[in-house]
Chain A
Amino acid sequence: MASVLEERREPAVAPSLSARSRRRSELTGPDRALGAALTVAGLIPTLALAFLAYQMVKEAYPAIIFNGWHFFTSKTFTIGNLYAPIQHKRGYAAPHGASYGVLPLLVGTLLSSVFALILAVPVSVAGAILLVEKLPQRIQGTLGIFLELLAGIPSVVFGLWGVYTFGPLLSRTVYKWVDSLGIPWLSGHTGAGEGLATASVVLAVMIIPIIASITRELVRSVPTVAKEGAVALGLTPSETVRYVTIPYVRTGIIAAAVLGWARALGETIAVLIISGNALNIYPHSIFAPFSTMAATIAAFLDSALTDPTGMAVHALAQVGLVLLAVTILTNFGGRLLTRRFADQALPVGRGV
Chain B
Amino acid sequence: MTAVTLDDVSVTFGAHHAVRHVTLRLQRSRVTALIGPSGCGKTTVLRAINRMHEQSGAIVTGTVRLGDVDIYGPGIAAEHVRSRIGMVFQRPNPFPSMSIFDNTVAGLRLAGIRNKRLLREAAEQALHHAALWDVVKDRLDQPAIRLSGGQQQRLCIARALAVQPEVLLMDEPCSALDPIATAKVEDLISRLVPDVTVVLVTHNMFQATRVSHDVAVFLLDEDRVGELVEAGPIEKVFSSPADPRTRDYLSGHIG
Contact, chains A and B (beta carbon distance below 8 A): yes
Question: Does chain B have a CB within 8 A of A230?
Answer: yes
Question: Does chain B have a CB within 8 A of A239?
Answer: yes
Render A216-252 as a binary contact track against B, CB cut-off 8 A, 1 for contact: 0000000101111111111110010001101110100
B106 touches A243 (CB 8 A): yes
How many chain B residues touch the partner (CB < 8 A)?
Answer: 42
Q: What's the minimum C-beta distance from A211 to chain B, rounded to whole angstroms?
A: 21
A352 touches B82 (CB 8 A): no
A352 touches B178 (CB 8 A): yes
B79 touches A234 (CB 8 A): yes
Whole-angstrom CA separation of A18 from B153 in the bound complex: 41
A247 touches B96 (CB 8 A): yes
A234 touches B83 (CB 8 A): yes
Question: Does chain B have a CB within 8 A of A351?
Answer: yes
B79 touches A236 (CB 8 A): yes
In chain B between 93 and 148, which residues have their CB closer than 8 angstroms to a CB of chain A? 93-98, 106-107, 110-111, 143, 145, 148
Whole-angstrom CA separation of A250 from B95 in the bound complex: 13
Chain A interface residue bracket vs B: 20 to 34
| Chain B residues closer than 8 Å to A236, beta-carbon distance | 79
Whole-angstrom CA separation of A223 from B111 in the bound complex: 25
| Chain B residues closer than 8 Å to A344, beta-carbon distance | 96, 143, 145
| Chain B residues closer than 8 Å to A228, beta-carbon distance | 52, 55, 87, 89, 93
On whether A352 and B110 interact (CB within 8 A), knowing A232-B50, A232-B87, A247-B95, the answer reads no
Question: Does chain A have a CB within 8 A of B41?
Answer: no
Question: Does chain B have a CB within 8 A of A346?
Answer: yes
Whole-angstrom CA separation of A172 from B215 in the bound complex: 72
Interface centre among A225, A228, A229, by most B CB within 10 Å? A229
Whole-angstrom CA separation of A225 from B87 in the bound complex: 11
| Chain A residues closer than 8 Å to B160, beta-carbon distance | 232-233
Q: What's the minimum C-beta distance from A349 to chain B, rounded to whole angstroms?
A: 4
The residue in chain B whose Cβ has the minimal distance to the Cβ of A235 is B110
A234 touches B93 (CB 8 A): no
Whole-angstrom CA separation of A231 from B153 in the bound complex: 17
The residue in chain A whose Cβ has the minimal distance to the Cβ of B96 is A247
A352 touches B149 (CB 8 A): yes
Q: What's the minimum C-beta distance from A309 to chain B, rounded to whole angstroms?
A: 59
A248 touches B94 (CB 8 A): no
Whole-angstrom CA separation of A239 from B106 in the bound complex: 11
Q: What's the minimum C-beta distance from A316 to chain B, rounded to whole angstroms?
A: 46
B149 touches A351 (CB 8 A): yes
| Chain A residues closer than 8 Å to B93, beta-carbon distance | 223, 225-226, 228-229, 348-349
A226 touches B163 (CB 8 A): no
The residue in chain B whose Cβ has the minimal distance to the Cβ of A136 is B57
The residue in chain B whose Cβ has the minimal distance to the Cβ of A227 is B55
Instruction: For B156, give its contact among A229, A244, A345 (CB under 8 Å).
Output: A229
Q: What's the minimum C-beta distance from B169 to chain A, rounded to whole angstroms?
A: 8
| Chain A residues closer than 8 Å to B229, beta-carbon distance | none
Whole-angstrom CA separation of A234 from B169 in the bound complex: 14
Question: Does chain A have a CB within 8 A of B80?
Answer: yes
| Chain A residues closer than 8 Å to B177, beta-carbon distance | 352
B55 touches A233 (CB 8 A): no
Question: Does chain B have a CB within 8 A of A350?
Answer: yes
Question: Does chain A have a CB within 8 A of B226?
Answer: no
The residue in chain A whose Cβ has the minimal distance to the Cβ of B93 is A229
| Chain A residues closer than 8 Å to B86, beta-carbon distance | 232-233
Whole-angstrom CA separation of A125 from B86 in the bound complex: 31
Q: What's the minimum C-beta distance from B19 to chain A, rounded to whole angstroms?
A: 19
Whole-angstrom CA separation of A234 from B107 in the bound complex: 7
Interface centre among B91, B94, B96, B152, by most A CB within 10 Å? B96
The residue in chain B whose Cβ has the minimal distance to the Cβ of A243 is B95
| Chain A residues closer than 8 Å to B83, beta-carbon distance | 233-234
Q: What's the minimum C-beta distance from A172 to chain B, rounded to whole angstroms?
A: 43
| Chain A residues closer than 8 Å to B96, beta-carbon distance | 226, 244, 247-248, 344-346
Question: Does chain A have a CB within 8 A of B188?
Answer: no
The residue in chain B whose Cβ has the minimal distance to the Cβ of A229 is B93
The residue in chain A whose Cβ has the minimal distance to the Cβ of B88 is A232
Instruction: For A233, give its contact among B107, B143, B148 (CB under 8 Å).
Output: B107
The residue in chain A whose Cβ has the minimal distance to the Cβ of B79 is A234
A243 touches B156 (CB 8 A): no
On whether A348 and B92 interact (CB within 8 A), knowing A233-B83, A233-B160, the answer reads yes
B92 touches A234 (CB 8 A): no
Whole-angstrom CA separation of A205 from B196 in the bound complex: 53
Whole-angstrom CA separation of A352 from B184 in the bound complex: 14
Question: Does chain A have a CB within 8 A of B42?
Answer: no
Q: Which residues of A contact B (CB under 8 A)?
A: 223, 225-236, 239, 243-244, 246-248, 250, 344-346, 348-352
Please list the 5 inter-chain residue pairs (A to B) with the smallest Cβ-Cβ separation, ordered nearest first.
A234-B83, A247-B97, A232-B87, A229-B93, A352-B149
- 7 A-B interface contacts by CB (under 8 A): A227-B55, A228-B89, A232-B160, A234-B84, A234-B107, A350-B149, A352-B178
